[in-house]
Chains A and B, each alone.
Chain A
Amino acid sequence: MKTKKTAYPYLLWMLLFTIVPICMVAYYAFTDAQGNFTFDTFISAADYSQVFLYSLWVALISTFICLVLAYPLSFMISRCDEHKQSMIIMFIMVPMWMNFLLRIYAWVQILQNYGPLDTLLNFIGIDVTLIGNSGATILGMVYEFLPFMILPIHTVMSKIDNSLIEAAQDLGASRFYVFKNVVFPLSVPGIISGVTMVFVPTASTFLVAQYLGGTQFMIGDVIERVFQSDHHTGSAIALVLMVVILGFLVFMNKFGDEEAVGV
C-alpha cells in the first residue's frame, strides 16, 4: 500500500501512448515531407482558418442554446422530490447512451427532403430546406450535448436548500432578486462545467456537420480530410485546435475559481 512501484507500468504507458504521440503531432506540424524544419505547414493550415472560426461560432451558438434550454429545466427538476429527480435524470441520460451516429442519423431522416417534417411544413405552405445548412448542424449539436449541460447544472442546483430561497422571500426579496442574488450565484460552478462540457466537444466534433451540414464542414472533418493526404498540414491544424481547446479550458478553470471565491 505504501509502494509507488505499482504506478510504474502506467507511467511507461503514458510516455508511450500519450506523450510520444503528442510530440509526434508537434514534430509533424513543424517539418516538411523531407523532415526539414518549416513553418509552411501552418501557412497551408491557414487556408482553413474560415472553417476554424465557423466551428468556434457553431460551438458558441450551440452552447448558448443548450444553456438557455437547460437552465430553467435543471431548476425545475431540482425542486422535485429526490426519488422523482433521479428518475427524471435517468430518462434524460437514456438517449446519451445511444451511439451518437445513430442519433444524428435519426435527425437526417427527420429533416431530409420529403421527410416527415419537410412534408408537414410543405402541407401548411412553408417551403424551406431543413437539412444541409448551419441550422441543421447546430440542431444536431444541441441534441447531442444538451444532457451535458443539464446534468452539471442540476447537480449544483439540487444542493440549493429550499429554505434559502424561502428565507430570501421572507426578507422581502422579489422573485427576480432571489434569482439574481441567491439561485444564480450558487449555480455558477454548474454553468461553468456545463459550458465546458458542451463547448469543447462541439468545437472539435467530427462527422455531425458531414451528416447534417451539407458542404459546411467543421474543423474535425477538415483534420480527417487533410490527414488522408498530408500528415504535416493535418498535424499543424490538430496542434492549433489542441492549443485553442487547452487555452479555453485554462480560461474556464480560472474563471471558475474566481467566481467561487466571490460567492
Chain B
Amino acid sequence: MKKLSQKIYFGLIMGFLYLPLIYLIAYSFNDGKTSVWKGFTLKWYVALFQDSQIMQSLYNSLLVAFLASLFATILGTLAAIGIYNFKGGYRTVVQTVSNIPIINPEIVTGVSLMLLFTMAGTLFGFEMGFVTVLLAHIGFCTPYVILNVTPRLKRMDSSIYEAALDLGCSPIKAFFKVVLPEIMPGIFSGMLISFTYSLDDFVITYFTRGSKFQTLPIQIYTMTHQRINPKANALSALLFVAILLILILINIRNNKEAEKSRA
C-alpha cells in the first residue's frame, strides 16, 4: 500500500468495519437511552452484572459450548479415523452426508431438528431444552472437527504406527503414543472452532431451545429485538474486549511458534 489513494481506501473499509463497534462501545457509557449524549456513566455495566437472567444465560452458553465442543471432538476424532479407513465411493458418500450441516442453510437445519425433537418429545414425553440444544450443537460442531482432523491423518506417515506395533506396542498404546500426538493440532483447532461456533450460535438454538432454556445469543435477541437497550451495548463492549484479548494471545502464540520453527 504505497499510494495515498490505496491508504484512503483501506482506511474507509476499516472504518466501515469498526465504526459500528466503536459506536456500540461509546454509547455503553451514555447516561441516557437515546442517541443524545447525556454524560458519562457506568450504570449499564452495573445493571448488566446485576441482571441474573443475563448471567444465567452466559453460564448456560459456556456450559453448552464446553460440553458440545468436548463431545464433538471425541465423536469427530473417532469418526475421522474410521472414515479415513473407508474405501472409495463409500467414503465419498459418508463425507458428503457429514458436510450437510455445514452447507445446508442454518434455518433449514434448525427447523428440521425442531420437527425431530417435537415428534420425539411427544413419543417419549419430554420438552425441548438444555439437552436438545446440546444435541443440536454437537451435530453442527462435529463436521468441523472431522474437517480439521482428516488432513492431519492424511499427512501422517502410517509406517510410524506400524513400526510402533512391530516394536511391541498394543494398538491402543500405539494410538495414544504415536497417532494422537501427530493429529493433536487438528483436534485442537477443531475443538476451538466448535467452542466458538457453539457459543455464537443463534439460529439453531432458537429452534431447539423450547420455551425456557436461554443462551447468551438468545438473551441478546430478547434484549435488542425492536428496542434499544443500553445493557446490550455494555455487553458488546465486554465481549469485544474479550475477543480482542483472545485473538492477541493466539497471535502471540503463533508468532512464537513460527520463531521456534525458524530457529
Which residues of chain A have a CB within 8 Å of any CB of chain B? 1-11, 13-14, 17-22, 24-25, 28, 69, 72-73, 76, 79-80, 86-87, 90-95, 97-103, 105-110, 112, 114-116, 119, 143, 146-147, 200-201, 203-204, 206-207, 210-211, 220, 223-224, 227, 231, 234-235, 238, 241-242, 245-246, 249
The 3 closest A-B pairs by CB, nearest first: A7-B82, A204-B105, A10-B79
Question: Closest chain A residue to B83 by CB distance?
Answer: A7
User: Which residues of the other chain, B, contact A211 by a CB distance below 8 angstroms?
Assistant: 224-225
Instruction: Assess whether B82 is in contact with A14, with CB atoms less than 8 Å apart.
Output: no
Which of A1, A24, A101 meets B174, CB within 8 Å?
Answer: A1
12 CB-based A-B contacts, threshold 8 Å: A4-B85, A6-B82, A7-B82, A10-B83, A22-B112, A25-B112, A73-B10, A94-B244, A99-B216, A105-B236, A235-B111, A241-B105
Known: A10-B78, A103-B20, A227-B114. 11 other contacts (CB 8 A): A7-B85, A10-B76, A13-B139, A22-B112, A76-B6, A76-B9, A90-B247, A105-B236, A110-B19, A147-B17, A204-B106
Q: Is B103 an interface residue (CB 8 A)?
A: yes
Asked whether, in the complex, the Cβ of A21 is within 8 Å of the Cβ of B115, the reply is yes
Contact B119 A24 (CB under 8 A): yes
Within 8 A of A (CB), among B128-161: 135-136, 138-139, 142, 158, 161
> Does B21 belong to the interface (CB within 8 Å)?
yes
> In the complex, A47→B78 CA distance in Å?
46
**Known A73-B9, A242-B104: A9·B17 in contact at CB below 8 Å:** no
CA of A14 to CA of B86, assembled, Å: 16
A1, B176: Cα distance in complex, Å: 11
Contact of B35 with A116 in the complex, beta carbons under 8 Å: yes
- List chain A residues, Cβ under 8 A from B114: 227
Chain B contact surface mostly: helix
A101 x B111 contact (CB < 8 A) = no
Contact with A along B223-263 (1 / 0, CB 8 A): 01100100010011001100110010001000000000000
Q: Which residue of B lies closest to A79 (CB)?
A: B1
- B139 with A18: CB separation less than 8 A: yes
**Binding-face segment, B39-47, B51-59, B93-101:** B93-101
Residues of A within 8 A of B17 (CB): 92, 95, 143, 146-147
User: Are A108 and B82 also in contact (CB < 8 A) when A13-B142, A18-B139, A101-B217 are?
Assistant: no
Among B35, B75, B135, B138, point to the contact of A115 (Cβ < 8 A). Answer: B35
Question: Which residue from A9, A73, A80, A91 sits with its C-beta under 8 Å from B75?
Answer: A9
CA distance A27 to B18 in the complex (A): 45
A179 to B240 CA separation, bound complex (whole angstroms): 38
Q: A114: which B residues are within 8 A, CB to CB? A: 34-35
Partner of A206, one of B24, B85, B106, B142: B106
- Greatest chain A CB density within 10 A among B83, B107, B221 is at B107
Question: Which residues of B have CB within 8 Å of A210?
Answer: 225
Query: In the complex, which residues of chain B have a beta carbon less than 8 angstroms from the beta carbon of A6?
Result: 78-79, 81-82
Chain B residues contacting A22 (CB-CB under 8 Å) are: 100, 104, 112
Contacts of B213 on A, CB cut-off 8 Å? none
Residues of B within 8 A of A5 (CB): 82
Contacts of A92 in B (CB 8 A): 17
Q: Is the CB of A227 within 8 A of B111?
A: yes
* Whole-angstrom CA separation of A207 from B175 in the bound complex: 46
> Residue B184 at the A interface, CB < 8 A?
no
Are A99 and B14 neighbours in the complex by a CB distance under 8 Å? no
Determine whether B113 belongs to the interface, using a CB cutoff of 8 Å to chain A. yes
Q: Are A7 and B86 in contact (CB under 8 A)?
A: yes
CB contact between B228 and one of A73, A97, A108 (< 8 Å): that residue:
A108
Q: What is the distance, in angstroms, from B143's C-beta to the closest C-beta of chain A?
A: 9
In contact, A108 and B1 (Cβ under 8 angstroms): no
Nearest residue (CB) in B for A92 is: B17
B81 adjacent to A1 (CB under 8 Å): yes
State A92–B15 Cα separation when bound (angstroms): 11
Contacts of A24 in B (CB 8 A): 112, 115-116, 119
Q: How many Å from the CB of A222 to the closest CB on chain B?
A: 10
B188 at interface (Cβ–Cβ under 8 A)?
no
| Known pairs A22-B100, A80-B1, A245-B105; A238 contacts B111 (CB<8 A) | yes
Q: Within the complex, which residue of B21, B79, B224 is in contact with A95, where a contact is CB–CB below 8 Å?
A: B21
Whether a CB of chain A sits under 8 angstroms from the CB of B92 is no
- Residues of A close to B111: CB separation below 8 A: 25, 223, 227, 234-235, 238
Q: Is the CB of A102 within 8 A of B220?
A: yes
Q: B31: CB under 8 A from chain A?
A: no
Complex contact A1–B171 (CB within 8 A): yes
